[in-house]
Structure 1
Amino acid sequence: MIKIGKKIKFNILLDKNAKKISFKQKRNKIIFCFPRANTSGCNLEAQEFQTLMPVFDKQNYDIYGLCSDSPKKIKLMSEKCNILYDLLSDENQDFLKFLGVIGIKKMYGKEYEGIIRSTIVCNEENIITHVFDKVSPKGHAEKVAEAIGIKIK
């Protein structure tokens, strides 16, 4: 997993419309990495970040969801969950590997390589300020908000 204090050099990623996104805007960024589009846990996490989007935006944070699914698949998820922020595709997993969120997972007794649900927060200079790994989707967006000093309740 990437460490706090490291500067992120962003790859060019594709959004849900296969448009290139390059992260040149001078804003703080929350990047939540999720295993697979249109699954119950991933949809829940995306919807919770969507609910808190106005709060994050007011504090100068952009939200990005990132997975290795195709732009077509993330577009379906975005539409189904009414997501207004960018969901991004890293089909070759280069950026996901750079972030250190690809690892060995277990399901039904079998091991496989996949995306470990994680969130990276970085400042306007793209320096990592917070790292959350092996997170649970339920309530995670609120935990991120609290960790960066945003009061929800």
Structure 2
Amino acid sequence: MSEQNRLSIGDKAPEFSLLDADGNTVSLSDYRGRSVVVYFYPAASTPGCTKEACDFRDSLAVLNDAGFDVLGISPDKPAKLAAFRDAEGLTFPLLADEDKSVMTAWGAFGEKQNYGKTVQGVIRSTFVVDADGKIAKALYNVKATGHVERLRKDLGV
């Protein structure tokens, strides 16, 4: 994916409405007035994605207290997200972007390197959207392990 398709600080965050693990519609606009961490991950219940989700779970109270909500988005179906949430005790919304349209709009789907090969797929990415719906942080190609801790340091929480 070319750099021009990526979001930058100050850009308006692309709006979305997606189904959560229970089949309820969640929209980015539901969070207007609060800051929200939106992170994109390749697949529920895989080792790296589980590590990242559990790190967000374990940091959720601190992030919430500092005014940040968390949304996780993957191409999984709601039923798989529900199983993942229940197995790992996740307490923030997991959203299903089955057609990858939201990921594409956010620059989180496209060409990436996987074991030395160029493939099409989910680019593990994290964004902080401010209370006005603008991108405050845009982090692409993040590593699952240690990412949440670094994000907390960057946010001062």
Q: Which runs of 5+ in 2 are unaligned?
A: 1-5
TM-score normalised to structure 2 length: 0.90
* Percent of residue pairs identical: 29
Give the Cα–Cα distance (whole angstroms) in 1 for the partners of residues 89 and 116 of structure 2: 34
**Offset at residue 97 of structure 1 (A):** 0.6
Q: Is 1:99 matched with 2:106? A: yes
Structure 1 equivalent of residue 3 of structure 2 = none
Matches within 5 A, 1:44-55: 44-55=51-62
Q: Which runs of 5+ in 1 are unaligned?
A: none
SS of match in other structure, 1:85: coil
Alignment counterpart, residue 121 of structure 1, candidates 123, 128, 151: 128
CA RMSD of aligned residues (A): 1.3
Alignment counterpart, residue 39 of structure 2, candidates 32, 54, 66: 32
Q: Is 1:4 matched with 2:19? A: no
**CA offsets 1:27-51 (integer angstroms, 9 cap, x no match):** 1000111011110000000000000
Distance 1:108 1:9, change over 3 A: closer
Aligned pair count reads 150
SS of match in other structure, 1:41: helix
**CA offsets 1:33-86 (integer angstroms, 9 cap, x no match):** 101111000000000000000000001110011111111111111111110000
Give the Cα–Cα distance (whole angstroms) in 2 for the partners of residues 44 and 119 of structure 1: 15
